[in-house]
Amino acid sequence: MASNRVSTIINDITDTLYDQKKVTTAIVEQFLQDIERWKRELPASVKIPSADPSPGTVTQQHGAIAKVYVSCLYYLAVMLVSRPFLVSALTSKGPGKGAHTQLAAACLDAAMYLSQTCSEALNAGLLQGNMCIMKALVFASGLVLGLEIFAKYPVESDISNAFEGAKDVLRHLATQSPQAAHYLDILTNLSGAIEKRRSNEASSGRSRYVSKLFSLDATPENAGSQSAQQMLDTMFPFTDSQTGQMMDDTMQDWVFQQPDGSDFSLDWETLNVSLWDTYPFLS
């Protein structure tokens, strides 16, 4: 089955990148080639969109759901293998290398496509019951999208819409799944942190020649950013400023240095897939 092969690739990715922590451009590109080869060998029927899956027979709906799952596993594989480069891009002070930038973009695109696919399935009325695998997949994509929005706001509308779509899917699944409800709470808290950061940046003013002198609002001027950071510190064990370096074309150091004047610092271990969920197809 198509899902078995891509699950094997995902398992190899987590073992090499997450457990052994061997992260080089060459290794990542080899995994991407493996994923692309798997995609080319997919049956043509997997790539054919269903004209109208919702009113069809049970067999047709099951076939559409299977296509959704295979697509989501494909996006997950790309997202996992390229995520170190997205984390690096989010924490880097300067522009990244061309290859690294492309890999970071691949992670973001994969997360966006995964969320969009699940949202389409929701709108088509295909999502029923617990769907234990999908809730983990859509949460993973939502977390990547949310961190991108938090770190680099403003972002493209497709990214924001996909993030909201991930929450909509989890909201639907949460009616029968406490775990999905927990995932939704995390993404909702992340949304709150994003809004607080936007509000703080907006209140800081647009000119360096003037600042707010007095306010009847008892809230300290920087309470918004502090509250947002405390919320994120609770959700993820962000590191303090630590020295990390990236050798040419490698990313063997899993702790990234905090950019000067930034409140966004990530330890790669905080994004370890094992902390997101125990994926059934990895056991």
Residue 215 burial (10 A CB sphere; 0-12, 13-18, 19+): exposed
Across the strands, what pairs with 267?
255
Tens of pLDDT, residue by residue over 169-228, are 999 999 999 999 999 999 999 999 888 888 777 666 667 777 777 767 655 444 444 554
For residue 101, the surrounding DSSP H or E stretch is helix 98-123
Q: Is the pLDDT of residue 240 over 60?
A: no
Q: Identify which of 275, 256, 250 has the alpha carbon closest to the alpha carbon of residue 22.
A: 250
List the chain domain ranges. 2-201+220-282
Closest listed residue to residue 118, CA positions, set 101, 136, 106, 93: 136
The dihedrals phi and psi of 108, each to the nearest 5 degrees, come to -65, -45
- List of E strands, the chain: none
29, two tokens? 């590109």
pLDDT by residue (tens digit) across 70-129?
Answer: 999 999 999 999 999 998 888 776 666 677 889 999 999 999 999 999 999 999 999 887
Q: Smallest Cα–Cα separation from 80: which of 18, 133, 157, 162? A: 18
pLDDT at 260 > cutoff 70 = no
